[in-house]
Amino acid sequence: MHKTYHKKKLADLLKVYPFITGYLEQNKLDMRGNEDYTLEEYLNLISEEEREERAMDIHKLASDFDAYIDQMISFLGLDKETVDSITILAGKDKSGNAETFGELTIRKSEIVSIVGPTGSGKSRLLADIEWAANKDTPTDRVVLINGETADKERRFSTSNRLVAQLSQNMNFVMDLSVKEFIELHALSRMVENVDDVIKRIVDAANDLAGEKFNLDTPITGLSGGQSRALMIADTAILSRSPIVLIDEIENAGIDRKRALDLLISEEKIVLMATHDPSLALIADKRIIIRNGGIYKVIETENEEKSILEELEKMDAIINQMRTSLRKGEILEINKYRMREVEKHA
């Protein structure tokens, strides 16, 4: 049974569901200046003569209005509960051996790295999470959402996916500017203050990219690093997917730590497939994949955090060298050796 949205004031509805203007325009219902009326009240103000002339069925218009809002709420995922955690219950590996980790719960704003050789089963793990597996995949795993088994609507929805994937290669083919590209995504999400959202995404992307770009830059003209930065910012700020998988961010040509900070600041659950020791240790925990199964789950301990500090110092030196090279400067080996001496003094 539909809710009776047609009995609520238009002004109140617009604050929550700005997309209703599409229904009104489609049905040539100009309620400007009458926002304090409900749709039902507005329709009752229309004379019998005008109703006949326009072949209006006010009861059907009101009923269709309610159905339209329900459908848009479902399509946009506005009726979905917040995902605070996902829990993976152990299944089996490719040989049929039981995974021994028991269960693993990952909460929003956590970073988990996934480590394993190519072909070890990282993609299978992601697929299990994406479709909220319930002993119906080759691994026999169960994935719980907020501690509960997901219903079919959540599991098989094509419009409200649990996982947003950021692959290593980001190649745009559309003939759009950066502004037009983000604007299309924002409008499809029915967000308010589109210009503010566009600016926020571009500012965040430029904070990640090695070389800045502007709103008028063609997306086909973006470098690999700029493309990755734009998609990370867009995913963090606009995507409703609560889980983000980043594949090999070490090769992205962006500020990796800032990218991760941005995603967790937007309360995403971040799964990061990586071979980079620094990124693996930035994670709160790491999943080790072997022979299609989860071999073990390792919590990042204090000793490893100390190692991470040293790796970050080394990364800082490499980044300084990279910046010098981009500026056309000659690297001075003695300067970097001196920094090493000072660091270990």
Helix boundaries (H) for the chain: 10-16, 20-26, 39-45, 48-53, 58-76, 122-130, 152-156, 178-188, 194-208, 224-237, 256-265, 277-282, 302-326, 333-344
Domain regions of the chain by residue span: 5-76, 81-162+241-300, 171-231, 306-344
Which helix (H) or strand (E) is 145 found in, with range?
A: strand 142-145
pLDDT tens-digit series, residues 124-153: 898 898 888 999 999 999 999 999 988 776
pLDDT tens profile 158-204: 655 778 887 666 566 677 899 999 998 888 777 778 899 999 999 99
pLDDT at 340 over 60: no
Confidence of residue 245 (pLDDT cuts 50, 70, 90): confident
Average pLDDT over residues 238-242: 84
- Cα–Cα nearest to 92, from 129, 124, 44: 124
pLDDT digits (tens, 9 = 90+) for 272-282: 888 888 888 98
**Are the C-beta atoms of 155 and 131 separated by less than 8 Å?**
yes
Q: What is the pLDDT of residue 1?
A: 44
Single-letter amino acid, residue 64: D
Domains 5-76 and 81-162+241-300 share a fold: no
Residue 343 above 60 pLDDT?
A: no
What CATH code would you report for 81-162+241-300?
A: 3.40.50.300
Q: Give the pLDDT confidence score for residue 123 in this predicted structure.
A: 83
What is the pLDDT at residue 344? 42
The listed range with the strongest mean pLDDT (76-90, 94-108, 218-232) is 94-108
- The proportion of the chain whose per-residue pLDDT surpasses 70, expressed as a percent, equals 88
What is the fold, at CATH topology level, of the domain defined by 5-76?
Answer: SP0561-like (1.10.3910)
Q: Specify the higher pLDDT residue, 333 or 293.
A: 293
